[in-house]
Amino acid sequence: MSALKRIAISVGDLNGVGFEIILKAHEHIKTLCEPMYCINYTMAHQSAGILKRQIPNDFHMYKVSGEFTIIPGEVSEFSGKYSYDSFMSAVNLAKSGAVDAIVTLPIHKEAWKMAGINYVGHTDALRDIFKQEAIMMLGCEKMYVALFTEHIPLREVMEHVNVAQLSDFMIRFYDSIGAQSVGVLGLNPHAGDNGVLGDEERFIEEAILNVNDKIGKNIFTGPLVPDVAFTPHQRDRFTYYIAMYHDQGLGPLKALYFDESINVSLGLPIIRTSVDHGTAFDIAYEHKAATASYVNAVYAAIRLIKD
């Protein structure tokens, strides 16, 4: 039997549900990998104390400097700073080869901003750290959605929908995942209705033709009408989709597979997966947090590790 893979786990915003999820799932996770939790003794015991739980004896921690008072459900610069430092500790462990992959628990974007961190999230930070155009893909084994544009205002999406950027994105997606059939969503209602409701679909169609020709196979199909792209019939055709903007893809995904979905960063020199949910401040430290997304993120990280 091969040795278990080593995975660094960043704890996310400690004012949220991340550490509860970690403790709940620890007995299962340690059978899948060797987890290294990026948190110091003081903060781990403070969080566990609020939850009225014990830290397991085999709970291996990688010290992250800093201490603050946890206030469940509060947006705080202190929790934002600690979540960033935990994340960077995990990244540095992966860069050094000390771990095989990283799994991240949810951060709070406003807390990062309050702490003076100039990234809108993990993926944005990873792009800057590695100077590579990471692709954000979310989903589960039943359905994955890659986002062509992510955390930008909706009014700016049209500026990015052009043949060059779309073609580059699809090539990088194919090189990263090797999917043999990918549905590409149109931008406008009814995929533009032949130009009646918008003509951006002509760029999407040209990019699909260009990329399929370059690959030598008809991998990408579209532009699909967005409001029927995720019906059962279409999900029989496609496991992988490319959405033009954030909510176009993630609304249907979360309606269908909220508890199961994960986040994967493609196209980076390290493996990073994450839960596909937020800090859930409204239920923080109330013993209500689900662990399915976290466990799936660990499974996905292990599958992506090459022996």
- Report the number of distinct structural domains present in the chain: 2
One digit per residue, the tens of pLDDT, for the chain of length 307 reads 458 999 999 999 999 999 999 999 999 999 999 999 999 999 999 999 999 999 999 999 999 999 999 999 999 999 999 999 999 999 999 999 999 999 999 999 999 999 999 998 999 999 999 999 899 999 998 999 999 998 889 999 999 999 999 999 999 999 988 899 999 999 999 987 888 888 899 999 999 999 999 999 999 999 999 999 999 999 999 999 999 999 999 999 999 998 889 999 999 999 999 998 999 999 999 999 999 999 999 999 999 887 6
Cα gap 292→262, rounded to integer Å: 9
Do 204 and 79 fall within a single domain?
A: no
Do 154 and 100 fall within a single domain?
A: no
Do 106 and 228 fall within a single domain?
A: no
Cα gap 49→70, rounded to integer Å: 11
**SS3 state of residue 238:** coil
**Alpha helices in 161-258, H assignment, sequence order:** 163-177, 201-215, 232-237, 246-257
Q: Cβ–Cβ contacts within 10 Å for residue 128, how many? A: 11
The residue with tokens 């059978």 is 31
The residue range of the domain holding 158 is: 143-259
Do 1 and 130 fall within a single domain?
A: yes
Residues in the chain: 307
Q: Which of 259, 274, 298 is the last residue of a domain?
A: 259
Do 105 and 168 fall within a single domain?
A: no
**SS3 state of residue 220:** strand
Do 255 and 269 fall within a single domain?
A: no
CATH number, position 153 = 3.40.718.10
pLDDT of residue 1: 41
CB 99 within 8 A of CB 105: no
